[in-house]
């Protein structure tokens, strides 16, 4: 359908056109149009990015002495849409034109078939995320291989629909028998019900309690878990961990507590007999530390024991990572530091086991896994004011190397400018929803290659549930209406007035 004609000076990046009479209703922002390239005659696809309406009878200068309710003028009015060129179809993608566009060339509405063909992905390997904002009948698919192995980020201000979108992705990945692990700080994913797959929820209470293998924790983890640890206590614990590693295949907090007791007794010149650890390993330590340090560290270890999370064995990895399974690690009862430690410990294990599986063909993590980090700015922050955030280093590692081992990362955040720039730039697919904060916009533009100025400009005007998707999992950067979910999800907005009205 011809809707207009190219006017003015054109460039290889864009052109403007006049609208044919009666065609105004088809011309709107984000609509796709085509025109012909000079010389080759290639059909060039473009997208309407701006519409300027001016009226020759009402130039700006008239503003000085006109009162607007005096005049309504349709005559003399002409809208001029500005089109950004996306390219012409070549092989499997789009290529930018080389010859330019002649003024006067006809402009047509792009056909649905053309858009479908360009956005098409192998159905077996893609996720249906929604439809084009401008064309409800054109579905948008994401390449799952790209999305998972080259990571993705879902960024938007609060309430824009990030978690909802994660839910859609989860549904799609489960249709392909995927393995997904969500670290869920607000406990909003635990009610996801998926008819043909397993959902397992691990939390801090009840039957499916999350357990972490104590011997997998380093001194950094302990320091994080015990915020009030002093320098001498830390040094002592560090030495004890070295000894525990030396004499035990695996140990728990009881073992650490036991070693501390031995040192305490040595200090008090009691006769000690220890079956596993030769006493001479401990005697020297006993000389160097004070009784009060030992006692204080004991109390802190006891405090950790009472959480009943750090055990001899962690939750078996094959219960967390499994084919056709969504695993929700509900962190809503954990404080920040414990959440960090749990995310770090489990992500580390998934990564190490996948690495082992890929390199040696053994281990528990036999399927590739997609790890979703909600509130990622807390777990992979850009700056760490006063302390090291433990989870950041492993998330960084997964962002860099996960692709080789089938460990994918999905970073979800409402504060993009507080995210680590390295991790953000390693996410090759970006699902960006409404963002109004200029510093967040600017930070995304700087950190992510495929996010351009005009994309950033559109972010404040997106609706809830609408996203701009750019990057490797999609053929073309497009504005998408995220599809409706088929499963239930928690974390919905509360109808405050309704709740007051119905409360008794």
Residue ranges binding Mg ion (CB under 5 A): 162-163
Find the binder of ligand ATP among 156, 217, 237, 260 (CB under 6 A). Answer: 156
Residue 499 near ligand ATP by CB under 6 A: no
Instruction: Pick between residue 76 and residue 159 the one whose CB is nearest to ligand ATP.
Output: 159
**CB 164, min distance to ligand ATP, A:** 3
**Contact criterion met (CB below 8 Å) for 215 and 254:** no
Task: Give helix 231-247 / helix 253-267 axis angle, nearest 10°.
Answer: 110
Q: Which stretch binds ligand ATP (CB under 6 A): 110-118, 152-160, 343-351, 471-479?
A: 152-160
Q: Which stretch binds ligand ATP (CB under 6 A): 73-81, 154-162, 207-215, 306-314?
A: 154-162
Contact of residue 160 among Mg ion, ligand ATP, none (CB under 5-8 Å per partner type): ligand ATP
Pairing state of beta strands 325-330 and 179-184? parallel
Rounded CA separation 54/18 (Å): 12
Residue 482 near ligand ATP by CB under 6 A: yes
Rounded CA separation 26/111 (Å): 12
Residue 161 near ligand ATP by CB under 6 A: yes
Q: Which stretch binds ligand ATP (CB under 6 A): 108-116, 202-210, 282-290, 484-492?
A: 484-492
Sheet strands (E) in 159-304: 179-184, 198-202, 212-213
Of residues 399 through 428, those in contact with ligand ATP by CB under 6 A are: 414
Residue 163 near ligand ATP by CB under 6 A: yes
Rounded CA separation 338/114 (Å): 51
Contact of residue 164 among Mg ion, ligand ATP, none (CB under 5-8 Å per partner type): ligand ATP
Tokens, residue 19: 């609208």
Of residues 195 through 224, those in contact with ligand ATP by CB under 6 A are: none
DSSP state of 203: B
**CB 424, min distance to Mg ion, A:** 18
- Of residues 1, 33, 30, the one with CA closest to residue 17: 33
Task: Output the residue with the shortest Cβ distance to Mg ion.
Answer: 163
Find the binder of ligand ATP among 159, 227, 316, 460 (CB under 6 A). Answer: 159
Instruction: Pick between residue 8 and residue 159 the one whose CB is nearest to ligand ATP.
Output: 159
- Of residues 156, 134, 168, 169, the one with CA closest to residue 433: 156
**CB 128, min distance to ligand ATP, A:** 13
Instruction: Pick between residue 163 and residue 417 the one whose CB is nearest to Mg ion.
Output: 163
Rounded CA separation 261/334 (Å): 29
CA–CA distance from 19 to each of 24, 34, 84, 87, 147 (Å)?
6, 14, 16, 21, 39
Of residues 449 through 468, those in contact with ligand ATP by CB under 6 A are: 464-465
**Contact criterion met (CB below 8 Å) for 373 and 343:** yes
The contact set with ligand ATP (CB under 6 A) reads 156, 158-164, 414, 464-465, 482, 484, 491-493
């Amino acid at each position: 359908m011809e809707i207009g004609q190219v006017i003015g000076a054109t460039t290889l990046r864009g052109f403007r056109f006049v609208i044919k009479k009666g065609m105004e209703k088809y011309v709107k922002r984000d609509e796709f149009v085509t025109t012909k390239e000079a010389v080759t005659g290639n059909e060039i696809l473009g997208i309407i990015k701006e519409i300027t309406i001016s009226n020759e009878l009402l130039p700006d200068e008239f503003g000085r002495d006109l009162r607007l309710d005096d005049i309504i003028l349709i005559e003399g009015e002409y809208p001029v849409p500005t089109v950004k060129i996306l390219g012409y179809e070549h092989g499997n993608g789009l290529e930018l034109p080389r010859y330019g566009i002649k003024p006067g060339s006809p402009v047509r509405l792009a056909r649905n078939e053309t858009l479908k063909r360009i956005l098409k992905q192998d159905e077996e390997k893609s996720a249906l995320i929604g439809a084009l904002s401008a064309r409800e009948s054109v579905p948008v698919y994401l390449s799952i291989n790209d999305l998972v192995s080259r990571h993705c980020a879902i960024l938007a201000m609060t309430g824009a629909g990030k978690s909802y979108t994660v839910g859609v992705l989860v549904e799609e990945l489960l249709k392909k028998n995927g393995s997904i692990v969500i670290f869920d700080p607000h406990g909003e994913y635990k009610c996801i019900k998926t008819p043909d797959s397993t959902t397992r929820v691990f939390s801090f209470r009840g039957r499916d309690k999350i357990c972490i293998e104590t011997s997998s924790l380093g001194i950094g983890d302990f320091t994080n878990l015990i915020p009030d640890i002093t320098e001498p206590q830390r040094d002592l614990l560090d030495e004890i961990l070295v000894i525990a590693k030396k004499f035990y295949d695996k140990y728990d907090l009881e073992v650490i507590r036991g070693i501390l007791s031995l040192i305490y007794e040595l200090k008090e010149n009691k006769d000690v007999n220890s079956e596993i650890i030769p006493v001479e390993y401990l005697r020297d330590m006993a000389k160097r530390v004070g009784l009060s340090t030992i006692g204080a560290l004991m109390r802190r270890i006891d405090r950790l024991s009472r959480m009943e999370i750090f055990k001899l064995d962690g939750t078996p990895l094959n219960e967390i990572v499994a084919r056709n399974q969504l695993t929700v690690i509900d962190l809503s009862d954990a404080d920040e530091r414990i959440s960090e430690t749990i995310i770090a410990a489990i992500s580390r294990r998934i990564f190490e086991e996948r690495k082992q599986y890929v390199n040696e063909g053994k281990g528990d993590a036999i399927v590739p896994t997609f790890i979703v980090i909600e509130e990622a700015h807390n777990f992979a922050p850009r700056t760490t004011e006063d302390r090291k955030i433990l989870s950041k280093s492993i998330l960084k590692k997964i962002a860099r190397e996960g692709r080789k081992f089938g460990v994918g990362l999905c970073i979800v955040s409402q504060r993009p400018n507080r995210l680590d720039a390295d991790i953000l730039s390693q996410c090759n697919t970006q699902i960006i929803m409404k963002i109004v904060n200029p510093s967040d916009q600017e930070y995304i533009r700087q950190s992510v290659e495929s996010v351009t100025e005009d994309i950033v400009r559109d972010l404040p005007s997106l609706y809830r549930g609408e996203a701009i998707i750019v990057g490797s999992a999609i053929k073309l950067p497009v504005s998408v209406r995220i599809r409706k979910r088929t499963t239930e999800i928690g974390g919905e907005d509360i109808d405050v007035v309704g709740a007051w009205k119905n409360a008794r």
